[in-house]
Amino acid sequence: MQKKKILVTGSSGLIGSEVCTFFHSRGCAVHGLDNNQRAVFFGPQGDTRWNQQRLERGLPGFVHHEADIRDRQAMLELIAGLRPDVIVHAAAQPSHDRAAAIPFDDFDTNAVGTLNLLESARRTCPESPFIYMSTNKVYGDRPNRIAMKELATRWEYDDAAYAHGIAENFSIDQSTHSLFGASKVAADVLVQEYGRYFRMPTCCLRGGCLTGPNHSGVELHGFLSYLVKCNLEEKEYRVFGYKGKQVRDNIHAEDVARFMFAFAENPRCAEVYNLGGGKENACSILEAFALTEALTGKKQRHTYVEDNRVGDHICYYSDLRKMKAHYPAWGITKSLPVTLREMVEAWQHRSAT
């Protein structure tokens, strides 16, 4: 029996590498597409070649494709040649701040790159599930209009309608997104449209803070990973606005990959899911400091900048009820303390090698 073939874009990144590993463990033939663009966006600290090499060493049969999703002809030819049974699109320019400095690169990567992949799939394998790693930033700063209350270490929703968090019917319109958020909105809507218009099995996963031990966190992207790195190296972490009480829900990359596998096994058409850690795995920056300090025994050095990032959320955690209703066997398996411990151990291992 022939193995199911999966193509993963951004395969050397946090989510892409976890997806490669997870689907490989389920007997799939795994093809990864990555050109280490993260090192271009963020410099040497964003380099992901180590992760590519880890996959090549650890996953027998893994095939790496050095290609750029912005190259339309290359995408058409690659997907026509592979005819993958599943496509997981996790490649992106992921930073708010970087997007403002490189608007063409940001849009070409996030929006045009997604269109190149969608059209390539439609021409060659329209029946293959197309899973897109979107972002909760498609909601712009609209979540900040929800009534909030300030607690000792965090902001919290002060509206019973959001007791479980933000659901998928929350508006993405008429708000400030950042240029990154806008390019991801364009891609998100394209993925939905290919699903509805062409009846393709697509889904958009509007991620919260996706994290885990294989994250190459930098200041401009990957807050929890970068926070742990700063703590271990006793470097200063800069907090941007909201008193450090801004809240994010954190989800381990393995739980992301597990949901993608569930969708690939039982796909639906043009679906949207808010994929995060939910209320149970949410924390503020101040709370993340305390949790990390407890694990490492090191005091977190930090400075405060009274200037929040454009489009940044004061409080955001995902309402997971739709996901659990559609895929009841799926749930969060990695708690925030477990995830943080894995990240501390991973950074310690990297610094020792």
**CATH number of the domain encompassing residue 99:** 3.40.50.720
Angle (CA) 30 46 75, round 5°:
40
pLDDT for position 35: 96
The verdict on residue 195 lying in a domain is yes
Domain count, the chain: 1
For the stretch 238-257, pLDDT in tens is 999 999 999 999 999 999 99
Q: Which band of pLDDT confidence, cut at 50, 70 and 90, is reported for residue 1? A: low
The verdict on residue 350 lying in a domain is no
More confident position, 66 or 312: 66
The verdict on residue 184 lying in a domain is yes
The verdict on residue 245 lying in a domain is no
Is residue 121 over pLDDT 90? Answer: yes
**Bridge-partner residues for 305, per DSSP?**
240
Residue 190 — φ and ψ, nearest 5°? -60, -45
The verdict on residue 303 lying in a domain is no
Residue 233 neighbours by CB under 8 Å, 6+ apart: 351
The verdict on residue 154 lying in a domain is no
Q: Which band of pLDDT confidence, cut at 50, 70 and 90, is reported for residue 219? A: confident
The pLDDT of 166-192, averaged and rounded, is 97
The pTM of the full predicted model, rounded to 2 decimals, is 0.94
Q: What percent of the chain has pLDDT over 70?
A: 99
Is residue 303 over pLDDT 80? Answer: yes
pLDDT for position 42: 85
| Alpha-carbon span 223 to 218, nearest angstrom | 7
The verdict on residue 226 lying in a domain is no
Query: Domain of 27?
Result: 5-146+163-215+250-282+317-334
Is residue 351 over pLDDT 90? Answer: no
The verdict on residue 41 lying in a domain is yes
Give the tokens for residue 50.
């180590």
